[in-house]
Amino acid sequence: MEEIQQPTPAYQNSGITRKRDDYLEWPDYFMAVAFLSAQRSKDPSSQVGACIVNQENKIVGIGYNGMPNGCDDDLLPWSRSADDRLDTKYPYVCHAELNAIMNKNSADVKGCTMYVALFPCNECAKLIIQAGIKEVVYLSDKYHDSPEMTASRRLLTMAGVQYRQFKPKKTEIVIDFNSINHPGMLNSATK
Ligand SMILES: [Zn+2]
């Protein structure tokens, strides 16, 4: 019996025969969203972003560090040290974790995972616990030995919130707006 010749699918003619295998994996994607959000921060010394994800891998909240809504960030101080603590940013600034929780677009964030650039401080640990977030994935732990981080670990552990350090598959993700115009180039260059 003669074999029926099937037409070659168009995608094979273009040289693309199978799906990409260097696509961003979910954890890298969510951490990248946190880092992209941090680019919105006006803090000159520390830009932190957070991204809350539910059990269906859907993003339900994003935030970055900044002054409270309606409080003029040109009038409030951004310095890290001053003779008077009221002249530093610390009493005023909202951390990324707080903003991500408050910005949630779901009824609640119970059972969710938070991706955040820096290990959360003790104040954010309280918010994370009270919001019902069950897991924290952080990238840097550079303030590990401070009392705030020590208290934070103590609280998170007692409350049964898991936390783990994120090891990115790629150290850099480049977003090139021009890539969409290059045939065969997919819309994110990654290395
Ligand atoms: Zn905090």
Q: Is 112 annotated as a binding residue?
A: no
Q: Is 95 annotated as a binding residue?
A: yes
Q: Please tell me the distance between residue 159's alpha carbon and the centre of ligand 1 in angstroms.
A: 17
The DSSP element (H or E) to which 155 belongs, if any, is helix 147-159
| Residue-wise pLDDT tens digits, 78-88 | 999 999 999 99
- The reply to whether 97 belongs to the active site is yes
pLDDT for residue 13 is more than 60 = no
Across-strand partners of 50? 63, 116
User: What residues contact residue 95 under an 8 Å CB cut-off, 6+ apart?
Assistant: 48, 65, 120, 121, 123, 124
Residue 15: the pLDDT is 65
Q: Please tell me the distance between residue 127's alpha carbon and the centre of ligand 1 in angstroms.
A: 9
Q: Is the pTM of this model over 0.75?
A: yes
Q: Please tell me the distance between residue 55's alpha carbon and the centre of ligand 1 in angstroms.
A: 24
Q: Which fold has domain 26-65+94-169?
A: Cytidine Deaminase; domain 2 (3.40.140)
**Which backbone phi and psi does 27 adopt, to 5 degrees?**
-60, -40
**Which backbone phi and psi does 8 adopt, to 5 degrees?**
-75, 125
Per-residue pLDDT band at 21 (split at 50, 70, 90) = confident
| Residue-wise pLDDT tens digits, 150-184 | 999 999 999 999 999 999 888 899 999 999 998 66
Tokens of 53: 């994800």
Q: Please tell me the distance between residue 24's alpha carbon and the centre of ligand 1 in angstroms.
A: 28
| Residue-wise pLDDT tens digits, 60-105 | 999 999 999 999 999 999 999 999 999 999 999 999 999 999 999 9
Across-strand partners of 22? none
Q: Is 182 annotated as a binding residue?
A: no
Residue 82 vs residues 79, 89, 189: alpha-carbon distances, Å: 7, 10, 43
Question: Based on C-alpha coordinates, what's the Rg of the chain?
Answer: 22
CA dihedral (83, 87, 92, 95) in degrees, to 10, reads -60
Query: Which of 2, 56, 97, 123 does the annotation list as catalytic?
Result: 97
> What are the structural domain ranges in the chain?
26-65+94-169
Q: Please tell me the distance between residue 100's alpha carbon and the centre of ligand 1 in angstroms.
A: 11
Tokens of 51: 């991204």
| Beta strands in the chain, from DSSP E residues, in sequence order | 49-53, 59-64, 113-118, 135-140, 162-165, 173-174, 189-190
Residue 191: the pLDDT is 46
Rounded to an integer, what distance in angstroms lies between the CA atom of residue 35 and that of residue 191? 16
Question: 3-class SS at 76?
Answer: coil
